[in-house]
Structure 1
């Protein structure tokens, strides 16, 4: 019962606007009081859990993402993707989706994709007839491809908390990420037939696009950015370096490309990126520390086992259990942020799904898909709110398109991933995991 109160307290604190890290601290204080825990031992266990080489990848990927955001990588990728899809109705929307996928394969974070791609793409999309509400919703959903397409900070956190292989987790979400990207492109292609009208503004924007830089120049300019995901992912899956070493390589390439190839990265921007990355990393580490200690208390008190027993009393059918897990993860994702779902709620549900024959690596894909849905579902919807701020539009205009994207794309992908395990397990098994 105390665990239920703790989850309710976490939701309440976040709904009332308490910062995420301090919401976790409040829950930890409640659990220490409720279970009369020895705080000295608990703190030692929490800090020991942070002593992980894998966690070094976190600040490196975060900083690499900020440097790519300010170093011109996203801009070159967008120009190249627009070139590839030039002349097709809905092509610019497709370019934003594809760019988000490639950018996610470099930075591993959704917020960097929203900020860097949104500031460049929203106005050109508006000129081409896209409603700002739809553009913002599409930006929010496509930016979350970075959660599924490796490397992913969300999967790193999940792997650290549940002690699973990070490389295996990266491999497990490749196919789900590609399915989500394909689904978004198909949806965008269908809906833009109705949305886009041949206005004078749209005609003029298309004419400017056709008279821009040559194809060879755009391709050459984008080549360094396109090489980054190939080197990072090829190195991880080829056994050349670990995910932590891959993060260091990503950071080195971001500095090299930003300073010496594109030359968009200045010392002032570099300093600002360091500050923002430090703030983001510090917040995540605080959340991890508190979540580790919360997890220790709940495991010691047998909460996951109690949850498994309670769910089994309701039904022992694996399909119904998985549907309940899907519904619960989406529900808490609508109220809580993605970090809370990943490091607290998802590990609590893991013994339940594993007891019904679900592979932990497969479960990680289910969690990642639920985070994609939750991060764009009101009332919290942090990524959708951020996309609307960048798109300079009220969230009221983006809610309906966002719900359509969830209902017709993200939710079907989640159900496919849930009930077709091979979509998540094929690649890890192929790589020997």
Structure 2
């Protein structure tokens, strides 16, 4: 109970606005007092946990995301995808969903997709008849496709925290990600004429214009194909793929699109270093928390407690899903992945849920939690970028979660084949 009280302290500190890293540090201090642990030993164990080659993929993918955002890659993706779907019913909304998925996959983070795609698309969507609140809600939810469609920083963290294969976690989240993408596109089409009074462009692009847009988009489109194909084709590891993504983003931004300048390159590097630094500090403290909780048998005791109250595996799955959504509405996806997920993993294993299947469940639950009040970090970020009050975005966001994200979460949870078939087919399990 003392350990669970320390975790409750984490939620309280985050809820009052204390920086995430210092909230984790406070929990480490509380647990060290509870278990009478030696701080020197704890810090040594924490630093050893960070000494892994796979973690090199984290700063590299973060840097690649910032480089792609400032190197003109997002602009070309938007132009190309709008060429494909822009004139169809719900075309602008569909373009935002697909672009967020593709760019979020290349960048590895949802925040990069919100920042890059939001600044490019919310204004044009408003001109096409979409309300800014709806556009911000669609951006907030579709940006989470970057968590599900690989390469994904969240899946890397899950694999490291639970000692699973990174490639297997990548593969497990692909089908749920595609289901979410298709569901959002269909939902958007269903809203035309009801909540959206779409104005479609009458202008048709000439064949020469279409060819120009397609040719300019080829370097941007080649990146996810090479990165993902290289990982699953055995050409390079996820860490090597991240290094390739950085190199490709620099070369494309400097020499192909020529949008990258020395000043932008410097700023992207600084931003990536700041983001990586904050994540690494969180990881350090989270690894220490995890070790103390395991030493105190908290995961096992939690599993035993739930099993003593509820024996039905279906009910246990529902309880875990609700808990992940609730926690996701309060704290960020990194915290969920490196602290909450390992804590719940023994309970999931006790009801025959494969750890890689659980990775996909965590990813799909974050989609709902990160857009749910009171914190709703992704939704509020999308509102800030879109220049709209959050109260105008909450309603559309709740409809999207109820009709799309929640069904995808339930399908992912109760149909393991959606998550496990592809990793098994690729020989990763």
Q: TM-score, normalised by structure 1?
A: 0.97
**Residue 164 (structure 1) aligned with residue 164 (structure 2):** yes
> 2:415 aligns to what?
420
Gap runs ≥5 in structure 1: none
Q: Deviations along 1:212-238, whole A, 9 cap, x unmatched?
A: 971101100111111100000000000
The CA distance in 2 between the partners of 1:234 and 1:284, in whole Å, is 27
Please state how far the C-alpha of 1:197 moved relative to its aligned partner: 2.9
Please state how far the C-alpha of 1:45 moved relative to its aligned partner: 0.7
> 2:19 aligns to what?
19
> 1:390 aligns to what?
385
The CA distance in 1 between the partners of 2:316 and 2:196, in whole Å, is 42
The question of whether the paired residues in 2 share the 8 Å contact of 1:114 and 1:387 is answered with yes
Please list every run of at least 4 consecutive aligned residues from structure 1 whose deviation after the TM superposition is greater than 4 angstroms.
207-213
The question of whether the paired residues in 1 share the 8 Å contact of 2:64 and 2:246 is answered with yes
**Residue 70 (structure 1) aligned with residue 70 (structure 2):** yes
Gap runs ≥5 in structure 2: none
> 1:316 aligns to what?
311
Please state how far the C-alpha of 1:316 moved relative to its aligned partner: 1.4
The CA distance in 2 between the partners of 1:180 and 1:67, in whole Å, is 26
> 1:232 aligns to what?
227
The CA distance in 1 between the partners of 2:206 and 2:70, in whole Å, is 26
Tell me which moved more, 25-34 or 286-295.
25-34
The question of whether the paired residues in 2 share the 8 Å contact of 1:334 and 1:378 is answered with yes
Please state how far the C-alpha of 1:208 moved relative to its aligned partner: 5.9
**Residue 304 (structure 1) aligned with residue 303 (structure 2):** no
The question of whether the paired residues in 2 share the 8 Å contact of 1:129 and 1:195 is answered with no
> 1:357 aligns to what?
352
SS state at 2:192 partner? helix
The question of whether the paired residues in 1 share the 8 Å contact of 2:119 and 2:385 is answered with yes
Please state how far the C-alpha of 1:410 moved relative to its aligned partner: 0.5
The CA distance in 1 between the partners of 2:99 and 2:208, in whole Å, is 18
Q: CA RMSD in A?
A: 1.2
The question of whether the paired residues in 2 share the 8 Å contact of 1:89 and 1:193 is answered with no
Please state how far the C-alpha of 1:394 moved relative to its aligned partner: 0.4
Tell me which moved more, 281-290 or 89-98.
89-98
Q: Deviations along 1:357-413, whole A, 9 cap, x unmatched?
A: 110000110011111111111111111111000100000000011111111100100
Q: Deviations along 1:229-282, whole A, 9 cap, x unmatched?
A: 000000000000000000001111100100000000100001110110000000
Within 5 A, what are the aligned runs for 1:128-207? 128-197=128-197, 202=199, 206-207=201-202
> 1:345 aligns to what?
340
Q: Quick one: structure 1 residues 115 and 315, their matched pair in 2 at CA, closer, same or farther if it must change by over 3 Å?
A: same
The CA distance in 2 between the partners of 1:276 and 1:50, in whole Å, is 21
> 2:282 aligns to what?
287
Within 5 A, what are the aligned runs for 1:103-142? 103-142=103-142
Q: How many residues align?
A: 428
SS state at 2:329 partner? helix
> 1:431 aligns to what?
426
> 1:251 aligns to what?
246
The CA distance in 2 between the partners of 1:378 and 1:211, in whole Å, is 45
The question of whether the paired residues in 1 share the 8 Å contact of 2:119 and 2:386 is answered with yes
Within 5 A, what are the aligned runs for 1:83-94? 83-94=83-94
Please state how far the C-alpha of 1:209 moved relative to its aligned partner: 7.1
The CA distance in 1 between the partners of 2:86 and 2:113, in whole Å, is 22
The question of whether the paired residues in 2 share the 8 Å contact of 1:76 and 1:225 is answered with yes
The CA distance in 2 between the partners of 1:412 and 1:375, in whole Å, is 16
Tell me which moved more, 322-331 or 83-92.
83-92
The CA distance in 2 between the partners of 1:352 and 1:197, in whole Å, is 47
The question of whether the paired residues in 1 share the 8 Å contact of 2:108 and 2:152 is answered with yes
Please state how far the C-alpha of 1:207 moved relative to its aligned partner: 4.4
The CA distance in 2 between the partners of 1:16 and 1:151, in whole Å, is 33
The CA distance in 1 between the partners of 2:62 and 2:371, in whole Å, is 21
The CA distance in 2 between the partners of 1:193 and 1:221, in whole Å, is 34
SS state at 2:18 partner? coil
The question of whether the paired residues in 1 share the 8 Å contact of 2:86 and 2:95 is answered with no
Q: Quick one: structure 1 residues 2 and 140, their matched pair in 2 at CA, closer, same or farther if it must change by over 3 Å?
A: same
The question of whether the paired residues in 1 share the 8 Å contact of 2:147 and 2:154 is answered with yes
